[in-house]
Amino acid sequence: MEDRSIKIGGSVGGSPTAGDVEGDVSSHVGGDVSNIINQLPSSSEPDRPGIKELLTQLQAEIKADPNLTEDDKQDALEQVKELAEAAQNPNDAEMKNKAKKADRMLGRIISAVPQATKLLEFCNNLLPLITKVFGF
C-alpha cells in the first residue's frame, strides 16, 4: 500500500492543535507555542487580558504578518514560546532572565523587517504589557 502521509522535517512531540497546521515551517513551532500558552491560566478579569491572552494575540499577529519570512516567523514564535515558558513561573530569576532575552530578540526580529509596521506597532504596545508580568 502506498504511503500518502505528509512529513514535515524534524520530529514532532505531541499533537498539533486545530488551526496550527499551516503547511509551513512555522506550523510546528506554532503548535508547540499554542500548547505551552494553553497551559497558562486565563485572565481573571474579562476586560483585561492576562499573559495567556496577550501571548495568544502576539502569536496570531506574528503568524498573520505577510512581511515576515518563514524563518523570521519561526524565530519570533520561538521567542513567544520562551515567554510562555517563563510565564509559568514569572517570579523565578532564571525565568525573568529568559523573558528578558526573548523580549530583546523579538524586538530585534520585528524591527529588522521594515515592512512589518503593523506588527511593530502591535509589539510596541503589547510587549510592555507582557514583560510587566515579569516585573520589568
Assigned C-alpha cell, 111: 524591527
Q: Is the pLDDT of residue 5 over 80?
A: no
d(C-alpha 34, C-alpha 23), whole Å? 16
Q: Is the pLDDT of residue 36 over 50?
A: yes
Assigned C-alpha cell, 57: 494575540
- Per residue in 44-53, pLDDT tens? 888 889 999 9
> Both ends of the chain: CA-CA distance in Å?
57
d(C-alpha 62, C-alpha 68), whole Å? 8
- Per residue in 102-119, pLDDT tens? 999 998 988 877 766 778
> How crowded is the C-beta side of 21, counted as CA atoms within 13 Å?
8
Q: Is the pLDDT of residue 41 over 50?
A: yes
Every domain of the chain and the residues it spans: 26-132
Please tell me whether the overall predicted TM-score, pTM, comes out greater than 0.75 for this model.
no
Q: What percent of the chain has pLDDT over 70?
A: 75
Q: What is the pLDDT of residue 116?
A: 60
Assigned C-alpha cell, 53: 491572552
Q: Is the pLDDT of residue 8 over 80?
A: no
- Are 136 and 96 in contact by the 8 Å Cβ rule? The answer is yes
